[in-house]
Amino acid sequence: MKVTVSLNVNGEAWELSIEADRTLLDVLRTELMLTGTKTNCLEAECGVCTVLVDGMAVNSCTVLAVTAQGRQITTIEGLARDGELHPLQQAFIDRGAVQCGYCIPGMILSAKAFLDEHPSPTDGQIREALAGNLCRCTGYQKIVDAVQDAARVLRRERRR
């Protein structure tokens, strides 16, 4: 059965006619063509499908699109501002924290939700916060270093 769903994604309002049992992940990728959100396990194990819902990191493979109505959804495509990469995106590039890249959108969105709440984290806290985002390439240290770099930039920005 199809239902009409209103979604706000990256500041843009969408009205879609979709099956009630479709996941947010599926709708983002196949209706809105926001393929930066990746797909893999489909059972909340790997974190590649992470998006922000009202600022909280969630596995979009386990969220029905209908339940995301009235929420602010942010995907990796919505993180840059005025043509400038978010400090996390820039730090991942500068630190060489990206290899195949498949895990990175979810990793960065989890890191954003975490840094919004913990602006001065330890390395251990970062590792804990990103424990639900698996990476098979990098060994994680460069990712932790990138998150620390971004945290420093964001703290500087907040002081301005």
Secondary structure (DSSP) of 85-97? --HHHHHHHHTT-
Selected from 51, 58, 59, 126, the binder of ligand FES by CB under 6 A is 59
138 lies in the site for ligand FES, by CB under 6 A: yes
Tell me which residue of 50, 55, 18, 19 sits closest to 34, measured CA to CA. Answer: 50
Sign of CA dihedral 89, 78, 38, 58: positive
> Which residue is associated with the tokens 């239902």?
3
102 lies in the site for ligand FES, by CB under 6 A: yes
89 lies in the site for ligand FES, by CB under 6 A: no
Selected from 32, 36, 39, 129, the binder of ligand FES by CB under 6 A is 39
Q: Which residues bind ligand FES (CB under 6 A)?
A: 39-42, 44-49, 59, 61, 98-104, 135-138
